[in-house]
Amino acid sequence: MIKNFPIAEVVTLAEMITYGPGQVVSRTVSQNKMGGMTLFAFPEGEGLSTHTTPADALVYILDGEAHIEIGEEKMVVATGESVVMPANVPHAVMAQTAFKMLLVIVKSD
């Protein structure tokens, strides 16, 4: 089920979430037993510390740049780019600049 999202209306994802001073802002778009979609806005210098998840996660950068670590790999992912963080592999996300992303979680049965 898709929620918090206009139906049958063209939208710009980056405009659906705003930056909060000194805080990570999130907005759930969809969540069910097979996965979910969430919009995030990170101010510069904020992030998510190293963790693992039991599902694959696709990060799509809507605005700005993120420093992402997946296992031993370190990369900068910028507007319009995406990367998959595989299940059970440690990963972290840090705002290189203020950035917005769509996170798509895909679970196996």
- Sign of dihedral through CA atoms 28, 35, 43, 83? negative
Pairing label, strands 25-32, 91-95: unpaired
- The partner residues of 70 in beta bridges, in order of sequence, read 73, 91
Tokens 């805080």 correspond to: 23
What residue ranges do the domains of the chain occupy?
Answer: 13-106
Domain 13-106 has CATH 2.60.120.10: yes
3-class SS of residue 28: strand
Exposed, middle or buried: residue 69 (CB in 10 Å: 0-12, 13-18, 19+)?
middle
Is the whole-model pTM more than 0.85? yes
Report the pLDDT value the prediction gives residue 55, as an integer from 0 to 100: 94
Which residues have CB under 8 Å from 97's CB, separation 6+? Answer: 44, 64, 65
Confidence of residue 97 (pLDDT cuts 50, 70, 90): very high
Confidence of residue 109 (pLDDT cuts 50, 70, 90): low
Q: For 43-54, what is each residue's pLDDT tens digit? A: 999 999 999 999
Which residues have CB under 8 Å from 44's CB, separation 6+? Answer: 95, 96, 97, 98
3-class SS of residue 17: coil
pLDDT mean across residues, the chain: 93
Instruction: Determine the average pLDDT of the residues in 88-107.
Output: 96
